[in-house]
Amino acid sequence: MTSKTLTARQLLPAPAPKTAPSRDLVSTRDLSSEEAGVLLSLTAMLKAKPEDFRTALSGKQMAMFFEKPSLRTRLTFEAGMAGLGGTTFFIDQTHERLNARESLSDIAHNVERWVDAVVMRTYEQSSIEGMAEHACIPVINALSGTEHPCQALADYFTLQERFGDLKDVQLAYVGDGNNVANSLLLTCALLGSSIRVATPQGYGPDADMLLAAQAIAQQTGARIDVMVNPREAVDGADAVYTDQWTSMGWEKEASQRIPKFAPYQVNKKLMACAAPHALFLHCLPAHRGEEVTDEIIDSPQSVVFDQAENRMHIQKAILVWLLGGGIGRFWVRSAHV
């Protein structure tokens, strides 16, 4: 009997075809109302007992593409993934846009073969949407010029820690109708809470985002009001939120924005319009002396560093939800019980 030499093709089975991931978090609109509430519950579990989740994502790998500089976003994702037993790779795109050398499609089809998830911080929302369209692994929006879903979820988790039932919380946002404002509107709507947004004329939230939030609010009972007068927005509020008047990429507009936004500065006088127990929120970094004064951001009312910490906890919950498989789904179900 003669021996037969097997080729590599005969020895190895054909590779399984790639299939699309079950979910992404490209936009807050990717969540249902129930899922948003479940993520907050799961976040509370992760924060209270991090030791129970040390190996939740053991062996999982995450790539982060950042076109914008970052302190909180990068460290909270890296620390969060490490705390779950996973590994992170950081790709600095601050000197070159992500698709400058090759198409998003080609990048996506490469990256999906190497890692289990992609986290993106970009100028254009379309870059994140393009990666999610082509990659067969979960894609997470860590910030775009249009949305900041992880931040808004962390903010509402912070409010939940302090006040309990979010349906009883009135949040006031004053300043620029930017990506943070857009995501706060959507998250408020999903959670059935209440928000008033006050911006200078012509600087309001994205019209499509506002319409989407209002449509969700009709189903959840959320209250959404958009106005120009900052004192009207802050009147009796449980929490007052602001952000930089000039976001990254719009620095050339700073000089013309400052006079228009000056009445929206969160100072002692404006904060006095809120409820006596009101909290102050800011996603950071803050331009002290512009959108907020030192006496407010450094006051006992300020929870800005609680927000920053909670970014890590909410992002851990998102990673478990998207990458935990059967275990992740079990924990999500448990969190909702």
Q: Does residue 1 register a pLDDT over 50?
A: no
**Mean pLDDT of the 157-161 span:** 98
CA gap 215, 190 in Å, rounded: 10
Residue 71 Cα distances to 63, 197, 248, angstroms: 17, 27, 14
Residue 59 Cα distances to 85, 91, 120, 141, 324, angstroms: 7, 20, 21, 22, 11
The CATH number that domain 151-307 falls under is 3.40.50.1370
CATH class of 28-148+311-336: alpha beta
**What pLDDT is attached to residue 20?**
52
Q: Does residue 328 register a pLDDT over 70?
A: no
Residue % of the chain over a pLDDT of 90: 84
Q: Find the length of the chain.
A: 337
Give catalytic residue positions.
121, 148, 151, 243, 283, 311
pLDDT in tens, 217-268: 999 999 999 999 999 999 999 999 999 999 766 677 888 999 999 999 999 9
151-307 has the same fold as 28-148+311-336: yes
DSSP string over 146-204: S--HHHHHHHHHHHHHHHS-GGG-EEEEES---HHHHHHHHHHHHHT-EEEEE--TT--
**Mean pLDDT of the 10-35 span:** 75
Q: Locate the domains of the chain by residue range.
A: 28-148+311-336, 151-307
In this structure, is the dihedral angle defined by the CA atoms of residues 125, 131, 137 and 143, taken in order, positive or negative?
A: negative
